[in-house]
Structures are given as C-alpha cells and as structure tokens.
C-alpha cells in the first residue's frame, strides 16, 4: 500500500504459543534508503490503529525514518483493526508477555524477517512509547541496551502496578476484576495472573528504581493537563534517568488532544512530533 509518497506493508508474527500473533505495519519513505528505525508502542486499551498512531507513523516517515507500528499480541484487538474482539486475551495480557512480544519483534527486525528490510538500519533504532507503552519501552531498553539506541516517552507511566486496592481484592478473591472501556462501553476483564505477574517481577519491573542504569538518551514529553498520568511522574523519570530531557506541554492532555476515530492533528500532537523527530535525528543521525 502507498500513502503520501511512502510504502506501508503489513506483517504478522506468530509468537508460537497461546495463539498469539503480533500484527503490525512497516512504514518507509522514498527513494529507497536505509534509515533509522522507530518502533511505536501503544498503551493500555490502545492499539496500532488508534487515533494518532497511523498519522504519527506517516509524519515520522516523511521526516526520514522507517517506522514500525504493531499490536501487542494480547492487547485484545485481533483481525479487525480497531475493535476489541479478543477480550479473553486482553484479560491475560501481562507485562511479561508484552516484553516477550518486543523481544520477538526486535529479533525479526534484526534478522530481516520484517517487510522492507533494506530500508531499516537496525544499528540505529529508537523506541517511542505512549502511556503503558512508555513503561514497556523503558523496560525493554533497560534489558536490551544493545538493541535500542534512544527512547522517547509520550505521557508515560512509571509504575506498572496501577490497580486500586479494590481491584486487587477482586482479583485475589474472585480471580478477576472488570474495567469498562469508556469509548466502546465494553466490560473488559483482567485476570488475577496479570497482578501475579507484576508481583513476581517487582525487581525487574521497578522502573524508577532501575532508571539510573538507563544508558540511552531519553526524551520525556508530558502534558500538564493529562488526567491519566500526572506531571510529577515525568519529573520523577527525569530525575532518575542519567541522560534525559523533559518537555512539559502546557495544556496538553493524555492523547495530545487527539480522539478516536482520528479527526486530524492538533497543535500539541504537532509539537510532540516535532520534538520527537528532532530528538531522534540528533541521536540516531
């Protein structure tokens, strides 16, 4: 498929267990050239086709990057691009599984098993994570320093355990808790194994405690009207990461003012894209 003088090729990677499939797209510009790679990670209740992700991928591609968007294999979205048709998988989606997905995705990138491999300079690779995707980006960069050269966070969380005491009690006593998707009004279950995964990996998943070991340059973009992630979270990340730069976007909310379905860009999203592209151009070349 061609869009805006670029090539977009879908792909799917089988994880090899639990009927898990990573579905994604590779965006690359013309003329053909080997360019730095940016991998975009969506957040909780997010997916690669939500709101700003396709637009952001296109914009970053026009600025000289090869861009990869993808769905985590158990995010709840299957073959239908923007619908949660796999709530059984969503219910069991753990950070460990998401880290496993990233490991498989980067292995496929590194070995040329993703589309358009000649366009991707795998020695110059960056991660962009929104919300929970930011936490996953930081964890992966910490555990795989040779594979990620720079990281950008968009309104990122820093604590993987965000369940309320009531939700934890429900998971421990009833085996699950339920959240409601405000956009679709679906009741979305979360099984106890999700909490168990967090509790059994507390040291590995202690992002703030590990950030002093992050050797890659880090860009932190945070809206000061984000009701999901408070500004102090970004400040905490910035204080602990050795090579970070924090930019607070006045008036920006959790999605930079973007809604789904996508209605067009916003000044806050444009600013985020400008700062992100400049950051990666500087650090990835």
Size of the chain in residues: 285
Q: What is the mean pLDDT of residues 143-164?
A: 98
Residue 118 CA to residue 165 CA, distance in Å, equals 49
Residue 190 lies in a domain: no
Residue identified by tokens 């999700």 is: 194
Residue 53 lies in a domain: yes
On whether the pTM is more than 0.75, the answer is: yes
- The count of structural domains within the chain is 1
Residue 147 lies in a domain: yes
Q: What is the mean pLDDT of residues 32-41?
A: 93
Residue 195 lies in a domain: no
Q: Which two structure tokens, joined as six digits, stand for 13?
A: 């990677």
Residue 2 CA to residue 18 CA, distance in Å, equals 33
Residue 189 lies in a domain: no
Strands 6-14 and 21-29: antiparallel
Residue pair 236/265 in contact (Cβ under 8 Å)? The answer is no
- Write down the mean pLDDT value for the chain: 97
| pLDDT value, residue 33 | 81
Coil, helix or strand at residue 105:
helix
Q: Which helix (H) or strand (E) holds 282?
A: helix 267-284
Residue 25 lies in a domain: yes
- For 223, the domain range is 2-160+203-284
Residue 183 lies in a domain: no
Q: What is the mean pLDDT of residues 199-224?
A: 99
C-alpha distances in angstroms, 36 versus 85, 249, 262, 276, 282?
34, 26, 26, 13, 11
4 confidence band (pLDDT: 50, 70, 90): low
Q: What is the pLDDT of residues 82-124, one digit of tens each?
A: 999 999 999 999 999 999 999 999 999 999 999 999 999 999 9
CATH code assigned at 44? 3.40.50.1820
Residue pair 101/259 in contact (Cβ under 8 Å)? The answer is no
Residue 103 CA to residue 97 CA, distance in Å, equals 10
| Bridge partner list, 189 | 178
Q: Which sign, positive or negative, has the C-alpha torsion 277, 279, 282, 285?
A: negative
Residue 128 lies in a domain: yes
Question: What's the per-residue H, E or C state across 141-195?
Answer: HHHCCCCCCEEEEECCCCCCCCCCHHHHHHHHHHCEEEEECCCCCCEEEEEHHHH
Is residue 19 left, alpha or beta, with left meaning phi > 0 and alpha meaning psi from -120 to 50?
Answer: left
Residue pair 143/151 in contact (Cβ under 8 Å)? The answer is no
């Amino acid at each position: 498929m061609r869009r805006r003088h670029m090539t977009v090729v879908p792909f799917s990677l089988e994880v090899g267990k639990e009927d898990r499939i990573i579905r994604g797209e590779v965006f690359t510009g013309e003329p053909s050239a080997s360019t730095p790679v940016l991998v975009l990670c969506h957040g909780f209740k997010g997916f690669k086709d939500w709101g700003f992700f396709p637009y952001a991928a296109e914009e970053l591609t026009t600025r000289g990057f090869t861009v990869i968007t993808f769905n985590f294999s158990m995010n709840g979205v299957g073959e239908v691009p923007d619908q949660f048709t796999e709530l059984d998988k969503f219910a069991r989606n753990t950070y460990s599984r998401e880290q496993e997905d990233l490991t498989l995705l980067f292995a496929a990138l590194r070995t040329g098993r993703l589309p358009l491999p000649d366009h991707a300079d795998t020695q110059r690779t960056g991660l962009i994570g929104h919300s929970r995707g930011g936490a996953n980006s930081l964890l992966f960069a910490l555990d795989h320093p040779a594979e990620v050269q720079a990281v950008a966070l968009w309104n990122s969380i820093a604590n993987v355990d965000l369940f309320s005491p009531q939700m934890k009690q429900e998971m421990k006593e009833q085996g699950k808790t339920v959240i409601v998707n405000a956009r679709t009004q679906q009741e979305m279950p979360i099984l106890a194994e999700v909490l168990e995964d967090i509790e059994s990996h507390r040291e590995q998943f202690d992002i703030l405690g590990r950030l002093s070991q992050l050797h890659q340059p880090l860009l932190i973009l945070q809206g000061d009207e984000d009701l999901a992630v408070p500004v102090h979270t970004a400040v905490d990340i910035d204080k602990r990461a050795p090579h970070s730069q924090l930019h607070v976007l006045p008036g920006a909310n959790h999605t930079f003012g973007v809604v789904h379905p996508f209605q067009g860009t916003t000044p806050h999203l444009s600013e985020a894209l400008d700062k992100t592209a400049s950051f990666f151009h500087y650090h990835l070349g």
